[in-house]
Amino acid sequence: MTANQKPNCYQSTSNQILLEDKTNDIAAHDSPINKNLLSASGLEMPATDKVQTLDAFDWKYTINETYFNLDVSFRQPNKFSGFLQHAKLLEIGVSHYHANTVHYNRGRQSAGYSDDSILMTFPLTGDVRFTQKGRQLTSKPGQFFIELSSLPYEFYHLQEAALYVIKVPLVLLTAQMSTIERQFARSLTIDEGAGRLLVFQMKQILTLIHNHQLAELEIKILEQQLLNLIILTLSAPKEAMMSSISCIKSVHLKRIEHYVNLNLANSDLTPKAVAAACHISARYLHKLFFDLPYTFSEWVRELRLKQANHILKSKSYVTIDEVAHRVGYADQSYFSRIYKQYFGYAPRDTIQK
């Protein structure tokens, strides 16, 4: 669907909710943007007088350029208006988003590993609906949620909404991966402390970037400060406090991870074999992976391919067939095919990437 076509209805999980909320939201759906709103959390909205309002066509292009490929649809394209302030630091992007009713869908063909990052979305005004891998949430001002770029998702709001959005490469959050994997697509509370400081920092960064010419060192310092606050916010969001049960699960997952990493060359890393080696049942192993964004088999394949990529880049091999065997693949042609599907280029082209 293009920005100039009017959708018949939103698809998937949003269709039922739209029908239920239609009478309540009709007055707010595609009204002109109110730039004087204040967030329910008490955080003042940034000034918007210098930001150009975009129509539906330009909005679709801008969203895809700022984040990643998304299908964007509008209830009434000819009445849509929105604006997006964006600041790109070195690797992290910060955005202030404000728009009336709009719907986004990241399909399977768009999702993947080519853009391995997360979005952290902080509603300032309006409620946002989000669905990813069977999890559904409604996030309100004072909350935030995590979106994984590698999985399909649906994101929409039925009324005018203002948001802060941070795009962070996952490579910067390696130590936080367990939290991200548990808490993606869950509504988390900012509360006091790091979360509120993070929102304040985003506002300051947008103001500085758009009003001043910053040196590279200043940008680097700003990004490091922002990353520190992101890590603090992810380290202990209110809903993420681990129970004794989740601590036990974490211990088992660490044991599984350790065993698999030591045995990547073994082609027989089946759930049954790994479970037996870690002294748990195969059924419990699958249960441990139930809330993660991948199955056990998908996770093992990703570990194998990333290790292969590391070997290829280090040039510590003689042939591609040798690399395949070192990460547990006896069939070189199969290895080359799935490697290209994952990274977007063949094993022999890795050194040039």
pTM exceeds 0.85 for this model: no
Distance (Å, whole) CA 13 – CA 213: 44
For 110-139, the pLDDT digits (tens) are 765 556 899 999 999 999 999 998 899 999
CA distances from 246 to 9, 145, 236 (A): 40, 20, 14
Listed residue (118, 134, 221) closest to 176, CA to CA: 118
Q: Is the pLDDT of residue 86 over 50?
A: yes
Q: 193-211 burial string, b = 16+ CB within 10 Å, else e?
A: ebbbbbbebbbebbeebee
Distance (Å, whole) CA 156 – CA 148: 16
- Collapsed DSSP state (helix, strand, coil) of residue 256: helix
For 249-286, the pLDDT digits (tens) are 778 888 898 899 999 999 999 999 999 999 899 999 99
Listed residue (94, 18, 86, 23) closest to 52, CA to CA: 86
For 137-190, the pLDDT digits (tens) are 999 999 999 999 988 999 999 999 999 999 999 999 988 888 888 889 998 888
How far apart are the two ends of the chain, measured CA to CA in Å?
34
Q: What residues form DSSP beta bridges with 164?
A: 96, 122
Quote the crossing angle between the two packed helices 244-262 and 296-314, to the nearest 10°: 40
Confidence of residue 7 (pLDDT cuts 50, 70, 90): very low
Q: Which whole number is the average pLDDT over 328-334?
A: 94
- Nearest 5°: the CA angle 143, 250, 145 is 15
Q: Which residues are CB-neighbours of 289 under 8 A, at least 6 positions away?
A: 295, 296, 299
Confidence of residue 314 (pLDDT cuts 50, 70, 90): confident
Distance (Å, whole) CA 216 – CA 236: 31
- Nearest 5°: the CA angle 119, 144, 162 is 85
Q: Is the pLDDT of residue 24 over 80?
A: no
Two tokens, residue 248: 């036990």
Q: CA quadruple 102, 96, 79, 29: dihedral positive or negative?
A: positive
What per-residue confidence (pLDDT) applies to 6?
Answer: 34
DSSP codes joined into one string, 72-137: EE-SSGGG--EEEEEEE-SS-EEEEEEESSEEEEE-TTT-SSTT-EEEEEEEEES-EEEEETTEEE
Average predicted confidence (pLDDT) for the chain: 81
Q: 242-276 burial string, b = 16+ CB within 10 Å, else e?
A: eeeeeeebeebbeebeeebeebbeeeebebeebbe
What per-residue confidence (pLDDT) applies to 330?
Answer: 92
What per-residue confidence (pLDDT) applies to 246?
Answer: 63
Burial of 294 per CB tally in 10 Å (0-12, 13-18, 19+): middle
- Nearest 5°: the CA angle 268, 271, 273 is 50
Distance (Å, whole) CA 155 – CA 346: 33
Among 15-19, 61-65, 318-322, 323-327, the least confident range: 15-19
Q: Which residues are CB-neighbours of 270 under 8 A, at least 6 positions away?
A: none
What per-residue confidence (pLDDT) applies to 195?
Answer: 87
Q: Which whole number is the average pLDDT over 8-32?
A: 37
Query: What percent of the chain is modeled with pLDDT above 90?
Result: 54
Q: Is the pLDDT of residue 71 over 50?
A: yes
Residue with the larger pLDDT of the pair 41 and 173? 173
Q: Which residues are CB-neighbours of 96 under 8 A, at least 6 positions away?
A: 46, 84, 85, 86, 162, 163, 164, 202, 203, 206
CB count in 10 Å sphere of residue 69: 15
